[in-house]
Each structure stands twice: as structure tokens, then as C-alpha cells.
Amino acid sequence: MRIIKAWECDIGEEIEKLKQRLSILDGLTEIRTTVLDIIRDVKKQGDKALMTYSKRFDKVCLSSGEFLVKEKETEEAYQKVSPSLVKSIQRAITNIWAYQEHIRIPSVCPLKTKGVVLDTVYSPIESAGVYVPGGAASYPSTVLMNTIPARVAGVKKIVMVTPPAKDGSIPPERLVAAKEAGVNEIYKVGGAQAIAALAFGTETIPKVDKIVGPGNIFVTLAKKEIFGYAGIDMLAGPSEVLIIADNRANPSFVASDLLSQAEHTPGISILVTYSESLVGQVIDDLQQQLSKLRRFADTKKFLDAYGVIILVKNIDECVEIANVLAPEHLQIMTNNPRTVLGRIKHAGAIFLGAYTPVAVGDYIAGPSHVLPTSGTARFSSGLSVNDFLKRSSIISYSKAALKDVYSDLAEISRVEGLDAHTQSVQIRLNIQNSSEK
């Protein structure tokens, strides 16, 4: 990991460089052109384009009739996983459901004043598409963290797309998670072509109202381009953690959390501390723990490339850097973490204390692990049940109430030059238009 000593450099410049590295949408003209071509082809050719791009990118030959996962495949998946995994998935679902139900926007009483009734209705979107990436890991947790909030909201149709292996199969744990979470349909399609299929629909895959779930840069750019045809959750970049630690932090704990992000390959790991002794101990622990990881080589590669330790003078500077970077995951490993918490302005999810690793948020705690990355926590939040709800305003005026606001409404309408707006009120109140006099 690279070590930056704030007092030996222009720390502002170094932070700007870090922010630039966290950005996911710069310098991607060539990839965007490819993504636009894929979207155009899927929109025009439907399943035919899906077959072409599945063969090109995922190296799998599937007919349109083979995209949909059959019930038999899901049944067989249960035979390939351990009962303990099913139990763990079910416990995670229970926790996620309870938390999402707890934070769901409640109904509110109508606002009533002299003939005016203002109300708000929250209703679920009708259909959602969940993208679950493939690659080096299987990600059953991603199935749960995207699907359960939609289920709690009341979404009736949930469609999952996910890239298959070269033999056309989907990892059994992914299928079991989808079944337990209540996914209605699963399709063996990945990449930008899967996002386009969900946005526009094909002969086989239905169009949905909103698309959620993380993916690679092709998936992210595809979500960006189809926004407006369907809703999206966010533009997700590489997983990232920023740890604020003081001189009492356990170096083994800190090292383990830095590694847990780096093993996402890519994952961005940042430690901010004022303790030079902690830094030395963390470096030693990283070497020891790295050697025991199954994905040693890739994790080390990305820790070396994207891992940063920033040494500052005090806790105030730790907080300042965290607020500037607005990390996806923020861990506060200090003697009094809640004291520090009160000064944090921007973070996707915050983990307090020595015994709250990011892993509990990734798998079991309850809040969705689909979180804003690349500094977007400055203006957005993690996925939740409320992202699957639409808000409609309900407005009701009596004749007397309309008469009471007429003169103000007419004045604003006049300066905007929209006479028909004023006329729509005059005709109800039997008021003669002054221009006709």
C-alpha cells in the first residue's frame, strides 16, 4: 500500500488524485460507443442480438428458448448446495426484510385547511429487473440485497438477469438465493445486452420499470444510457472502504477490512489515521493475512494498485478527508466512534467500532449493500425499499378555496403569459375575463 504523509505533500492535491481514481465515468468514449451499439442492436433485433452478444462476450451459445432458467434447474440447484447455506440465506432474508420494513416510508395524514385537502400516496412500481454479476464470484448476497427491498415495497414482478458460465449454467447458490428471495423469472443473459433487454424488452425477456444491481463498466454505462426508458438505482463503481482509526485500533482488524475490499478486484482500500505506530503494525498484518487468502495474487495486485494509507496530524483531519471522499463504506475504529460519527457528513454506509466489519453489511445486517460509490454519497443513498415506491400528490380544492387563491394564481399565470391557466379557474368561478371587457 502507498503511504501518504499529509505534512510532506500537498494533501489537497493528493486527495484530488484519489477522487479522480475513484471516478468511473471519465475517459470511456470507446467503451461508450460499444455500449451504444449493443443497446441499439438489442432494441432493434431483440433475442437475435442477445444470442450474438452472449456468444461474443460470455462465450456461451444459447437459443432464445434457453435464456429462461427452468424450474428443474432451480430444483437441482438445491441438491448442489448445503442445507447450512440455505439456512444462512434464509436468516439474511429475515434480517433484510425486517430492516427494510422498518424504514419504509409510512402513510401520513392528509393536510387539511379551509376546503383544501392535500394528501400523498406511495405505491410500488409494477416490475423491477435485478442484475447480478458473474465473474470470479457468485454473489448470492447481491440477489438478496436487490430483491428483498423490492419485495417489501410490493413489486409484483421481479426479473433477474445474470451471465451464465460457458456451459450455460448458473451457479446453484445464485439460483437458490433467487428462489428464496422470491424472484419471478431468471434469464441467462449478462452485460450491457442484459440491461438493454430489461429496458426495451425482447421476444423473451420482458421490459421492466426499474433496473437495479451492480455490474462492470459495460453494465454501468448501459444503465446510464437507458435511463428514461427505465429507472435505475445508481451508477456503481468499484467497491471502496475508508477506515478512520486511532492509536487504539486493533491493527489485525484494520488489515482484515482493507483486504476484504481489495479482494473484490477491483476494490479500493483507504486507511486514514494519525498513528504512525498503527501504520507499521497494519503493514505487517497485511503481509501475514494476505498469504492465507485463496485469491492471494489478485488481492495483492489491487491492494498495491489501489490501497492507500494517509497519515495525518489528528482526528479532525481524518474526518475532513472522509467527508471530502464520501466513501461507499466508512469504518470508524476509534475509542469513541459515535463522537466521530456526529461529524461525518457523507458516506454510503457507516460501520462503528471494532466488531462491525463491512462484511456484516455485505451479507447479514439488513441494510442493502448496494451503495453509492465514487463520491456519489455526497448526494445519494444506498438502495432501499423506498426506491421501489412512487409518490403521487393528491390535491382537492372546494369552490370557496379555489376562489380564495384565484387572484394570486392569476397574477403568477399573467407574468408567465399562460392565459389558459387563469381561464381554467375563471370558468369554474364564473369570473369574466378582464381582457374580454
- Write the burial class of residue 95 (CB in 10 Å: 0-12 exposed, 13-18 middle, 19+ buried): middle
Give which of 262, 160, 266 is closest to 213, Cα–Cα.
160
CA 234 to CA 214: how far, in whole Å?
Answer: 8
**Cβ-based burial of 429 (10 A; exposed 0-12, middle 13-18, buried ≥19):** exposed
Cis, peptide link before residue 266, omega less than 30° from 0: yes
Cα separation, 118 vs 127, in Å, equals 28
Could you say which of 180, 225, 263, 328 is catalytic? Answer: 328
- The residue from 173, 180, 317, 329 that is catalytic is 329
Indicate if 329 belongs to the active site. yes
Report d(CA 435, CA 75) in Å as an integer.
Answer: 74
Pairing of strands 389-397, 116-124: antiparallel
Contact 260, 359 (CB under 8 A): yes
Active site residue 328: yes
By annotation, the residues acting in catalysis are 328-329
